Each structure stands twice: as structure tokens, then as C-alpha cells.
Amino acid sequence: MLFLLAVSGCDQRESQAPKDQDQPAGSRSETKTLEAAGLMGYDGKQLRKSVDKVLDARDQKNKEVEDAIQKSEDQ
């Protein structure tokens, strides 16, 4: 009977829902685990924001390089 209750508690709609709904804008799912650094005495949210900022800057630079390459190939 306990098994039946455990199985009936699983709702497929919940498991298929997007997991990033509670994340603030600009946050990356890859850096969510950094918030756990708070358990070690670090400010996990600030660490996550910092890493997000670095990753965003890297992505922007990569886009600029790709655009420059594409532009030079077009000439």
C-alpha cells in the first residue's frame, strides 16, 4: 500500500515542467549549483552572478569573433 501511495504521488506534468521558472532573468542553469557554495560559507548567489557575468562576456566575445570571421569570409 505504501508503494501505491508513492507511485500515485508522482505527477508526470510536474516532471515535464520547465525547471528554470524560478530563476531570475540572466541566470544560467549551468551555474545553479554554485548557489550551494553557501553551505561552505561563501555567498552562493553572488558567486553565481559573478560566474554568469563572466560567461555572458565570453559568449559576447565569441559572437563578435564569429561575426568578424563571417564578415571576412564574405569579402
Are 36 and 44 in contact by the 8 Å Cβ rule? The answer is yes
Q: Where are the domains of the chain?
A: 50-75
Residues 59, 63: Cα–Cα separation, whole Å: 6
- Stated pTM of the model: 0.58
CA distance 66 to 61: 9
pLDDT at 3 over 50: no
For 34-62, the pLDDT digits (tens) are 888 888 888 989 999 999 999 999 999 99
